[in-house]
Structure 1
């Protein structure tokens, strides 16, 4: 009999591939500067949205041109330009990682949903067998129904 569930992903990631993925992520992380923020810092710092990016680009243009002679010597335009470039680079990298994260999240959701659909199906079959008095169904039913008991659901009237 064919699988009764819609199974979009019928595979596993083999150990060598999983090792390669983990090694690649570790390698990628080693190329990035060490930086971390507290939740408070994350909430208090200004982000780089489109309007802020345009403004920062315009400030750099003006600071390197017409306003160059009026800036105090303690303003290091190279540091400012480096920060602007790093923000652009981080944005491009973040976009790629967002794509990876979305794909991994989708894989996780699909696999989890398929797992739970099959789990519920098998549980309901065991439940039906127990109700019908099938030998060997009571013990697995009693073990498995604890999940529904935790959720406050009645399992004797159907699931």
Structure 2
């Protein structure tokens, strides 16, 4: 991506960043019940999907109509609360996913543009150093370590686009 194909050219005022973080904190505070699960739990927990959602609704209806067959340790009220929370959180997932995806995509685009421009400038400095322009050598020496083949952490190659 070259400078001429710049697709995004903005920055957020720091007060907006702080405000968004505060709004996210407020959202989190509205849902103090949120929890995390371990990767192992994520694998072994039975999952609700569209197919079994209607089954759960049917079971809820059935036990509301006649809970006499249930043992005392099974609570129809708790099942109804769990189902209701599932439905409420389902309403939140689409707008949250949209927001997350767009924040992540915008970050990726901004990072790509910054990195592409940095590569372009580096190649200019490299060419200036090779041509012997005054001052280019110190800049080149400062930056070339990123692409030193003996550096095991450097995996990027400088493209000459």
Could you tell me how far 1:14 is from its partner in structure 2? 0.3
Structure 1: unaligned runs, 5 residues or longer: none
Could you say if the C-alpha distance between residues 72 and 4 of structure 1 is closer, same or farther in structure 2, counting changes exceeding 3 Å? closer
In 1, Cα distance between equivalents of 2:95 and 2:155 = 42
> Matches of residues 29-48 of structure 1 in structure 2 within 5 Å?
29-32=28-31, 33-48=33-48
Could you say if the C-alpha distance between residues 36 and 152 of structure 1 is closer, same or farther in structure 2, counting changes exceeding 3 Å? closer
Superimposed CA distance per residue, residues 96-128 of structure 1 (whole angstroms, 9 cap, x where no aligned partner): 211111011011111010001100110011011
- TM-score normalised by L of structure 1: 0.87
In 1, Cα distance between equivalents of 2:136 and 2:85 = 62
Structure 2: unaligned runs, 5 residues or longer: none
- TM-score normalised by L of structure 2: 0.86
Alignment check: 8 A CA contact 1:129 1:137 kept: yes
Runs of 4+ in 1 over 6 A off after TM superposition: 152-155
What residue number does 1:101 align with?
100
> Which protein, 1 or 2, shows the higher relative CO under an 8 Å CA cutoff with sep ≥ 6?
2
Aligned-residue CA RMSD in angstroms? 2.1
For these two proteins, the number of residue pairs brought into alignment is 154
In 2, Cα distance between equivalents of 1:17 and 1:123 = 32
